[in-house]
Amino acid sequence: MASTSIINIGQSLTVRMSRLAIRSSVISSTFQPFAQSLTSAAVFKVGPIISPSSFAVGNHVGYTLARSFTSAANTPLKRRDSKTNVDYGATSSLGTLLSQEQAEKFAAFLHANQHQKVKPFIVKRRMGQLRTYIGNERNIRHSPWRMNLVCQFAAGLTVPEALKQLMFCQKVKAPLVAKVIRRTSNLADIRHGLQPSQLEVAECFATHGSHLKRIKIMGRGRSGKKHRRHSHIRLVLREIDFPTKLLKAETLNQKRLWLERLSMARADYEKARIERAEIAELEAQAAKVEEAKRKEEEEAEQKK
Please give the model's pTM, rounded to 2 decimal places: 0.69
- pLDDT at position 3: 53
Q: Rounded to an integer, what distance in angstroms lies between the CA atom of residue 53 and that of residue 294?
A: 72
Mean pLDDT, the chain, whole residue set: 77
Strand partners, 230: none
- pLDDT at position 8: 52
**pLDDT category of residue 103 using cuts at 50, 70 and 90:** confident
Q: Rounded to an integer, what distance in angstroms lies between the CA atom of residue 276 and that of residue 102?
A: 26
- pLDDT at position 116: 74
Residues 6 or more apart whose CB falls under 8 angstroms from that of 194 comprise 131, 185, 188, 239
Per-residue pLDDT tens digits for 204-228 = 999 999 999 999 999 999 999 999 9
Give the mean pLDDT of 152-160: 95
**pLDDT category of residue 85 using cuts at 50, 70 and 90:** low
DSSP sequence for 154-221: HTTSBHHHHHHHHHT---TTHHHHHHHHHHHHHHHHHHH---GGGEEEEEEEEEE--PEEEEEE-STT
